[in-house]
Chains A and B, each alone.
Chain A
Amino acid sequence: MAEQAQATDTGPRPIVPWLKLAPKPHLEGIKCACGAIYLDPKRVACSKCGEADKFSPLTLSDKGKVYVFSVVHQSYPGIKTPYVTAIVDLPEGISVRANLTDVDPEQAQKEPNKIFNLPVELVTGVAAKDREGHDVIAFSYRPSKN
């Protein structure tokens, strides 16, 4: 029965386990008692302090600021270039890697200073369709609208 239930489920799936789609798309991390925050919920222990059992779940903000970026002009077959990749600092104290959308790559290269500290917000979209027909949802960041 379980198999059958799975087969009929064609709903969207997140590209990485720390992207949660409900109730609205957001990132879910884990926080160690020492303060270190991680995305992968299955990690063995804290690589900052070494403790294994001091994690608690942490819902991460959908807003952050760009730390650094690059504009990728050469990539693997099937990946459209140029695009902006960025490291985004979230207010909780963790950095996330993602694409930066709604930013002109050429302009970013001309005026990199305008990208540093740029306030951004999380957005999601369909990135691919998997072998079972599920839409695969990826997240990126765009300049904050408010």
Chain B
Amino acid sequence: MINYKGYITLFLVPTIALFMLVYAVSLVILFGTSFTEWSTGLKPMFVGFRNYIQMFSDDASFKEGFWNTTVWVLLQSTVHVLIGVVFAIILNMKEFYWKFARTVFMFPNIISGAAVGMLFLCMLNPNFGAVNSIARLFGHSDYAQNWFMDYATAFLSVTMTWLPYAAVVTILILAEIAAIPDSLFESARIDGASELKINLFIVIPMLRNIIGTCVILAGTSMLQKMDIIMMTTGGGPGNTTLNLPMYIYKTAMMENNFGYSNSVGVFLIGFGIVFVLLARYLFRIGSSEV
């Protein structure tokens, strides 16, 4: 083969430049100041590993936030992706509703997070919210479940504002299915395989790479999720729905403790790397042999 090295460099340079521009400074400041005490408007002071030690030894909120984040990452990379994949496969049967359903499913993803938060806050209001109003129609005339604030339902309610909305997974999978040669389906059909079997044994194995990608994207999105939580529960009741991005934001912007907040940020990145590497390994992402 020809020597492509020059071209490879040429094609990589713009991305690397973009990365340096947008992320490099943040990364350097993030790692550097995670070893300092740094509050807004003052100079950072080196304190060694003190922030990290405090984080692991003496910070109940951090532990709760980490636990919630982990649960959400796991749910999002499994249940959420599963919903998206199943829906994509159903849509791909191209029954009468498929275009309509595919478009409608995307709606909640199109609305910005803050508006989604407001919307759910209104819909789940214990007094006048749509959900409780419907429940009252079915006879519970006094029904006033406080979905976002009751300890029993807060975590679930927040989760439900994003877990079922897997339209992104669905469109990714649909695009990938579109790339599977029709001849494969036809030969399977001629062999008498049922739709279910074709999907299970032909389609899904061919989607390995993209499902892995979805798992990574969906899982890591939970390492950034903040706007909806902020709008609905603010992390409460107690710390029931606190996650690490929210904790980082609060520590930096409310307590003016940039140093500590950045240590938690470094930890979160480390956690994310482990997750990404694990997913890449499990799904053998990057190898193109099917």
> Do A and B originate from a single complex?
no
A binding-site residues for B, Cβ under 8 Å: none
B binding-site residues for A, Cβ under 8 Å: none
